[in-house]
């Protein structure tokens, strides 16, 4: 069986067009974008997804009839993938920020470690919440739901048009505001409980000034912080599931 050069270019074009959107998603998607994920694995995974999506790409997008506007289409595809992955990244940042607030309130902010994924120093509480949200994301098959949304996007938004609008970017920016609100809600139980502890120590200072509150208050604050974190974990798990659902709803909104 012989293939003409037009047929070969057509097949290569159908393989090429899914790659920009997939690459954009992998650049921003949690877990996959981590430095712990080898680049070779990401490339092989992207090529495998492109092979699955290639039959959906219209034959009119062949590179045999290359036009300068195709450069804009590629940039649009990359941006669409970045927005999809960035939304899920914002969900993860909710609990990282919440952990940082809790660490500062409990006095555990000095306990930091280098995050192997981002190469940045983060409090241990934030790292703990990051591990929790990552495992919950995988346990709820969030990675499969995100890949399903990616595959569906090629049926709904086929390459060859400008899909990313200012309204889509505005929706993601508004979602970043939601991220800060949810981070405060994650840390709110710890903030409220530690405020009561601080008020209690203030009353003790007024009643018994001879007590050394500084030497007593710091270890008590650390202990109460650990107790509050352990008590609030069931609520945090439910909040993780709800936040991931909100993120997936926004991604579906970007594709319609």
pLDDT for 13 equals: 81
Q: Is residue 17, in this structure, part of any structural domain at all?
A: no
Three-state SS for 123? strand
pLDDT at 63 over 80: no
- Please give the pLDDT value at position 118: 61
**pLDDT at residue 70, rounded to an integer:** 83
Q: Which two tokens stand for residue 222?
A: 């650390």
Residues 202-215: what's their mean pLDDT?
Answer: 71
User: Which two structure tokens, joined as six digits, stand for 74?
Assistant: 């590629």
pLDDT, tens digit, for every residue of 241-256? 899 989 989 888 888 7
CB 185 within 8 A of CB 191: no
Whether 26 is covered by a domain: the verdict is no
Whether 245 maps to a domain, the answer reads: yes
Mean pLDDT within 122-135: 84
The Cα–Cα gap between 82 and 74 comes to 12
Q: What pTM, to 2 d.p., does this model score? A: 0.84
**Mean pLDDT value of segment 204-216:** 70
- Mean pLDDT, all residues of the chain: 82
Q: How far apart are CA 180 and CA 182, in angstroms?
A: 5
Give me the pLDDT at residue 11, please: 82
Instruction: Examine residue 155 and state whether it is found in any structural domain, yes or no.
Output: yes
Half-sphere exposure of 250 (CA within 13 A, CB side): 28
What 3-state DSSP class applies to 114? Answer: strand
Q: Residue 61 falls within a domain, yes or no?
A: no
Q: How far apart are CA 86 and CA 198, in angstroms?
A: 38
Burial 167-196 (b: 16+ CB within 10 A, else e): ebeeebeebeebbeebbeebbebbeebbee
Is the residue at 60 inside a domain? no
Question: What is the average per-residue pLDDT within 109-116?
Answer: 65
7/105 Cα distance (integer angstroms): 64
Identify the band that residue 117 occupies on the pLDDT scale cut at 50, 70 and 90.
Answer: low
* 209: number of Cβ within 10 Å: 8
Parent domain of 245: 68-254
Q: Say how many domains are in the chain.
A: 1
Q: What is the pLDDT of residue 170?
A: 87
**Phi-psi label, residue 141: left if phi above 0, alpha if psi -120 to 50, beta otherwise:** left
End-to-end CA distance of the chain: 41
In a domain, 27, yes or no: no
Position 3 in a domain: no
Task: With a cut of 60, say whether residue 59 has pLDDT above it.
Answer: yes
């Amino acid at each position: 069986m012989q293939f003409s050069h037009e047929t070969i270019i057509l097949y290569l074009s159908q393989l090429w067009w899914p790659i920009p959107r997939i690459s954009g998603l992998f650049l921003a998607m949690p877990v996959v974008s981590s430095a712990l994920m080898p680049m070779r694995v990401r490339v092989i995974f992207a090529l495998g997804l492109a092979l699955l999506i290639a039959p959906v790409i219209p034959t009119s997008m062949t590179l045999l009839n290359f036009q300068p506007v195709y450069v804009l289409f590629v940039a649009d595809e990359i941006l669409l993938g970045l927005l999809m992955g960035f939304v899920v990244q914002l969900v993860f940042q909710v609990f990282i920020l919440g952990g940082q607030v809790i660490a500062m309130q409990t006095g555990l902010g000095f306990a930091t470690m280098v995050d192997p994924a981002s190469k940045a120093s983060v409090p241990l509480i934030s790292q703990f919440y990051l591990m929790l949200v990552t495992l919950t994301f995988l346990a709820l098959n969030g990675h499969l739901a995100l890949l399903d949304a990616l595959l569906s996007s090629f049926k709904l938004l086929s390459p060859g048009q400008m899909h990313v609008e200012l309204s889509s970017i505005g929706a993601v920016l508004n979602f970043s505001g939601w991220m800060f609100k949810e981070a405060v809600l994650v840390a709110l139980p710890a903030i409220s409980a530690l405020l009561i502890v601080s008020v209690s120590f203030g009353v003790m200072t007024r009643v018994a000034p001879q007590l050394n509150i500084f030497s007593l208050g710091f270890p008590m604050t650390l202990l109460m912080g650990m107790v509050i974190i352990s008590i609030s974990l069931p609520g945090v798990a439910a909040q993780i599931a709800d936040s991931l659902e909100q993120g997936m709803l926004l991604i579906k909104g970007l594709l319609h």
